[in-house]
Chains A and B, each alone.
Chain A
């Protein structure tokens, strides 16, 4: 019936027309997400106060769903996606696509930028059995205490928590994998206001991580120059 169709049509078409705007904003400007896993405790996802001597199990691992990890709260974060890859700084908390599982996004802290010499964390609790080469550019598995030079166009990311699958397992990550920067925590929030800012200073980096800093403070923006074929 034409009358009913017209009363339904307007909100539906308005919704369909705003959908692309929402999708664009969500993937390129700003996004909200829920963080699972203990790899950023206690910065994000603080573990609950122990009520029993046995840790409560939960299965949230981005590569192996059968892994049992300690349970934590699941925080909501605000992610800023606009132009973040060019403005990475050491100490920032970023959201990146995992190089070992492209469908999963992980939240970690940037420890080193290209040219830095980082020391692989000693005494990690969660190991990961890799097949063949670990990381993109290394010829062997990363051993605790190794000194690694972060290659050009890559960064070294680590989780704050004890149990974390990060660059200590899969090596330096290409900066193009970084999707966005965590602007702050939305819920649960201990401060007044909607957004709780997180500590992103370099004080949060473990002291033995960066052995030598490169003179490059931010990843340079490389642009292709037409005509410079050579090796392309």
Chain B
């Protein structure tokens, strides 16, 4: 019974998760950073531009989670890839957000797989809990 209660808290309120990868430097380190994710912000409730969010990878399936920063909400116009020099823009469709990592050259994000449906958002990253 305590397992289910823990699962309830983990799923509905907050949980702690590890980060992996260089795409959010210098905000998060490459490995061994533990972040606090607020599950009250699932499905993109209360998330706005500039928030760091945790979402399920749209291509790699339900088990893989991604931590990136929201650059544009639905209806906003975003630059598709600031690094490719064309300055081509697009409008984020209804129900989606546009995300990029803080470390642009080493990040796989919306620039590669397109706008992320808000249905995939698992929560908002509140803080880093370890190392402090």
Contacts and interface: CB of A to CB of B under 8 A. Distances in A.
Contacts, number: 127
Contact of A132 (B64, B92, B118): B92
A163 to B, nearest CB: 19
Interface size range of chain A in the complex: 35 or more
A131 B96 CA distance: 12
A27 B108 CA distance: 30
Contacts of A99: 95-96, 117, 119
Contacts of B21: 229, 232
Contacts of A224: 20, 60, 64
Contact of B61 (A18, A21, A24, A222): A222
A216 interface: no
Interface residues of A: mostly helix, strand, loop or mixed?
Answer: loop
Interface string B39-58: 00001100000000000111
Contacts of A17: 1, 5
A23 interface: yes
10 contacts: A20-B8, A86-B61, A98-B119, A99-B117, A100-B95, A131-B75, A154-B58, A173-B117, A223-B63, A232-B20
Interface of A: 17-21, 23-24, 27, 63, 85-86, 97-103, 130-137, 139, 151-154, 170, 173-177, 219, 221-224, 226, 229, 231-232
